[in-house]
Structure 1
Amino acid sequence: MGSKAIVVTLLACIASTCVFSLDVAIINSLNVMQSFQNYFELNPALAGLNVTILYVGCVFAVPFAGFVLDRYGRRRGLMIGSAIALLGATLQASAHEKVQLLFGRFLLGLSFIITGAGAPSWLMEVGPPKYREEITNAMVACLPITGMMGGLIYLGLYNKTSNWTWRAGLMVIKADIAGPAIALLILPFAPESIRWLVAEGRADEAFEVLVKIRQRTRNDPEILAEFQQIKQTIELERQLSQRDSWKSLVSPVVGTMVIAASFATLAILQQRIEATNQAAFAKGAVAVCFILYWAAFSSWMLLNYSYPPEILKYTQRARGVGVGVGQALGYLVGAGLSYAIPLAIQNLSWRYYILNCLWNVPIFVVIWWLFPETKGKTLEEIDSIFDGSIAKSSLHVIEGLPDPFIEGGQHEVKLKELKDSRVATSAQ
């Protein structure tokens, strides 16, 4: 299993989440295709609704996404999200009426939150601490790549007049159907989240998954220490979750809202390219856009998906609090900016660019002083940064290594702390 299980999990997450970037890249192309406009009799209001309804579905899905991921686990949760995406894409691609088109896009929005919250959390929970960020960022890096591919393909189809052009694009090129279908085929072979299994009282199964993923023996000291740490941290979080759940709901979302606001500069540059007929300005703006997109996608976009599930407790990741709610608020901010930016440019002119540049000052201060480093740490060690949890150190000496699964499921492992660890000798 081992690395193969990680690869299968990564591929499943990519297949289930790539629908989002493809949809964002394609929908604007569809709205300007003459055959698409004529078929659905698009006016500016309907074209805007065709984009916005996706975000409405995202926001609507927030409470349900948390329930699905907590109740059914990461693997089955992504299967449910992929099934919803498959249904939405099919309805959208086969639409003959405006209502069917919009309802299909609404379902796609529902699926985005489930897969968007579940995939990075899942990768964080099954990946080894040393490569956890790289694995999650590999998934996120595929989003702009697939979006770029979809945009380039539709650029070649722009002048086609047949209705089958945009239908084929929705069904095949856009991969709204291919992505979820591939995910549904791969997901049954991926391992479930170890932490979710422990939280559901399936410790024996969780231990076996951990052994296979780490490619160690069942009596390996590091495996036993890591598993003990996971169990203790989840139990502590379960005891504390009732007291601070609403407080902890708000704090991780603030960072995501700032991330969404920082993308306003990119949207402004795009608007200026479309609004001017000056070729020299357009070429220069395209170059600046390329640099800013590179900076954004190589930093903020990756961290937007990988950092929140890292710093959240298990009980928060399971409910999709930081990731799902944060993404939904990001979509709300993005939708608001899409309407506000033209008005702001009209009233403030070039001053609006300065306003957006000033966003970077408080962002820099907040990151420098408040964002803890997570590289190389286990999720339980990261928890201790915020809560001082009992799982402060992952380094222990295991004294005596009896078979941890003797009859009755009861076993005793003596843990002796090495340095600044609060984990005392414990019996289970």
Structure 2
Amino acid sequence: MPDSPEQMKPPPGHFYLAGRLFPRKKWWRDKNMRTLYFFILVLIFTNTANGFDNSMMNGLQAITYWQDYFGHPHGSTLGLFNCVMSAGALSGLIPMPFILDRLGRKPCLVIGAFFMLLGIALQSAAVNFAMFIAARWILGFGDILVICTAPLLIAEIAPVQDRAILVTIAGANYQSGAFIAAWTTYGTLQIKSNWAWRAPSLIQGIFTILMIVVVPWIPESPRFYIAKDQPEKALKILAHYHANGDEHDEVVQLEYTEITTALAMEKNAQKSFSFIDFLRTPGNRKRLVMIVSIGLFSQWSGNGLVSYYLTTIMNNIGITDSQTQLVINGGLTTFALVTNILFSFFVDRWGRRPINLISTIGMLISFVIWTALSAIDAQQNNENPAIGKAVVFMIFFYYLWYNLKSGLIASYTTEILPYHMRAKGYTVMEWALYGALFFNQYVNATALDNIGWKYYIFYCCFLAFELIVVYFFYVETRYVPLEEIVKYFDGDDVAAVTNDEFEHDAKRAVIHVDDSKAA
């Protein structure tokens, strides 16, 4: 078996599993795989609702009826409008790993969807500030359960050949919601009533309803079933969706082998996993640094300024017309959607570490230029429209580099965590992400009000710090099956999931399950 991801690059039309080369299946010609990919598409669209909400809050700030209804919020009040959803998300992260590990991935999706629909209903019908704030807290609580669970389930049911791309698209699909919301708020700007802001809130619920309708038919994670001592169900799911029901298919046998062996080794190593175990071994400490930095860097790279306060930034550079602001918001989300989806198909070809390095360097250069242009514009009191246009261009240029890596948030996190750590590790990453987001949403509005462009200097410095962390800590995982990535953190002895002895034992277990079922 090749020793590094670079050596594991398969020839065109093939993929590696357990050190062996297999031809890629044409999923569109396989009925069961087409069904599975439809289910995965539904799970991918769970992130659409999240992106819709964030972009919608940006758009609402440019709608006069929303501003008038809530008394033209600014500074800390505007920050509270935005950050309360993150507060709800941080609360939802507390029960999430226990729901995932004890009840499974699908129940977590349903529970989260219920809270999301409740929050959307209250937000759409809000009659005062308190009701709107309460609705957004509930919405955040449910949203985090859904957007954390969906990529885990995708990673655990997707065929090996397409897993990385599908999970990356799931992360990148945040931009589809932002795209829809940006142009929805642009369209509802023409409504001459409070429905100009209530209508977008209602539309947000469409994606959650779609998921609830389909989720009963989506398969549960085979890894969850094996962890709960129900291997027959796991084998049946793998065989049905990956090999048209053939439990003796070679790829299915090897997938089952790797999962059962890896989980057995994890159980032998320790009875259960707690958050404190992230500090016990060098491999786990490295994982901790990586997952915390992935979450933190996803929101503290300067993108939070544009995600929620584009209207304020536009006002600061002299672009104050509501329609122009919404067009820029729509154009930015369109650009982000196209580039995110496009980059998702190159995660294996370019590699995780190079993508993170190039993205961070590009963002740093862009942000420094953006900051310098903003300083010049402030000195000239917005008298030169060309500088304002240059700032807008640099925002787009910055997002080109940010979008290069944004889809990797979900896929990279799930890859570097073995099953017994995955739910809790993903929770840690989301704690870092939403902790940074909460800070951004609350502090950014106040900082922009008080010090304007000078606040950008903080993000220039932080991006330089990001580059150092990525360079020294991030590892490459492309082409490596999910159960085998552990060796890059814990060594070959711990990760010997393809060892002949283990493979032999696991295959015997598969045959035993199959024979007992037939008997």
Q: Same fold judged by TM-score > 0.5? A: yes
Give how far 1:152 is off: 1.8
Which of 302, 306, 316 lines up with 2:407 in the alignment? 302
Say whether the 8 Å CA contact 1:56–1:109 is kept in structure 2.
Answer: yes
List runs of 5+ in structure 1 lacking aligned partners: 412-428
Q: Distance in 2 between matches of 1:40 and 1:146?
A: 24
Give CA-to-partner distance per residue, 1:103-153, whole Å, 9 cap, x none.
211111012211121111111111223321210122222221321221122
Give how far 1:46 is off: 4.1
Give CA-to-partner distance per residue, 1:232-252, whole Å, 9 cap, x none.
212332333647742427432
Cα distance change, pair 394–377 in 1 and its aligned pair in 2 (3 A): farther
Letter in 2 for 1:39: Y
Cα distance change, pair 283–100 in 1 and its aligned pair in 2 (3 A): same
Give how far 1:258 is off: 2.9
Give CA-to-partner distance per residue, 1:304-325, whole Å, 9 cap, x none.
1221111112122233434432
Question: What is the RMSD of the two structures over their aligned residues, measured on CA atoms?
Answer: 3.0
Q: Distance in 1 between matches of 2:228 and 2:516?
A: 18
Which of 291, 296, 299 lines up with 1:260 in the alignment? 299
Letter in 1 for 2:58: N
Cα distance change, pair 246–363 in 1 and its aligned pair in 2 (3 A): same
Q: Distance in 2 between matches of 1:32 and 1:214?
A: 48
Q: Distance in 2 between matches of 1:297 and 1:240?
A: 39
Residue in 2 that maps onto 1:223? 252
List runs of 5+ in structure 2 lacking aligned partners: 1-30, 280-287, 319-381
Residue in 2 that maps onto 1:160? 191
SS at match of 2:186: helix
Q: Which moved more, 1:224-233 or 1:257-266?
A: 257-266
Cα distance change, pair 215–330 in 1 and its aligned pair in 2 (3 A): farther
Give how far 1:54 is off: 0.7
Give CA-to-partner distance per residue, 1:153-206, whole Å, 9 cap, x none.
21233253312232222212xxx2111100001111211111111111111100
Q: Distance in 2 between matches of 1:344 and 1:256?
A: 27
Which of 105, 126, 132 lines up with 2:157 in the alignment? 126
Structure 1 length-normalised TM: 0.84
Cα distance change, pair 337–304 in 1 and its aligned pair in 2 (3 A): farther
2:475 pairs with 1:372 = yes
Give how far 1:343 is off: 6.9
Cα distance change, pair 263–129 in 1 and its aligned pair in 2 (3 A): farther
Which of 99, 108, 113 lines up with 1:68 in the alignment? 99
Say whether the 8 Å CA contact 2:79–2:446 is kept in structure 1.
Answer: no
Cα distance change, pair 42–342 in 1 and its aligned pair in 2 (3 A): closer
Give how far 1:341 is off: 4.0
Q: Distance in 2 between matches of 1:353 and 1:163?
A: 34
2:50 pairs with 1:11 = no
Structure with more contact order per residue of length (Cα contacts < 8 Å, sep ≥ 6): 2
Residue in 2 that maps onto 1:88? 119
Letter in 1 for 2:168: N
Q: Distance in 1 between matches of 2:410 and 2:110?
A: 19
Cα distance change, pair 325–141 in 1 and its aligned pair in 2 (3 A): same
Give how far 1:327 is off: 2.9
Q: Distance in 1 between matches of 2:193 and 2:394?
A: 36
SS at match of 1:295: helix
Which of 223, 235, 241 lines up with 1:207 in the alignment? 235
2:287 pairs with 1:184 = no
Give how far 1:215 is off: 1.3
Identity of matched residues, %: 22
SS at match of 1:404: helix
2:446 pairs with 1:405 = no
The count of aligned residue pairs is: 404
Letter in 1 for 2:45: A
Cα distance change, pair 235–336 in 1 and its aligned pair in 2 (3 A): farther
Say whether the 8 Å CA contact 2:304–2:440 is kept in structure 1.
Answer: no
Which of 223, 226, 242 lines up with 1:195 in the alignment? 223
Say whether the 8 Å CA contact 1:116–1:323 is kept in structure 2.
Answer: no
Letter in 2 for 1:297: N
SS at match of 1:262: coil
Say whether the 8 Å CA contact 2:79–2:441 is kept in structure 1.
Answer: no
Residue in 1 that maps onto 2:339? none
Give how far 1:290 is off: 0.9
Pairing 1:341-420 to 2, within 5 Å after superposition: 341-342=447-448, 345-346=451-452, 353=456, 355-388=458-491, 390-394=494-498, 403-405=511-513
2:324 pairs with 1:283 = no
Cα distance change, pair 186–343 in 1 and its aligned pair in 2 (3 A): same
Q: Distance in 1 between matches of 2:399 and 2:434?
A: 21
Letter in 1 for 2:477: T
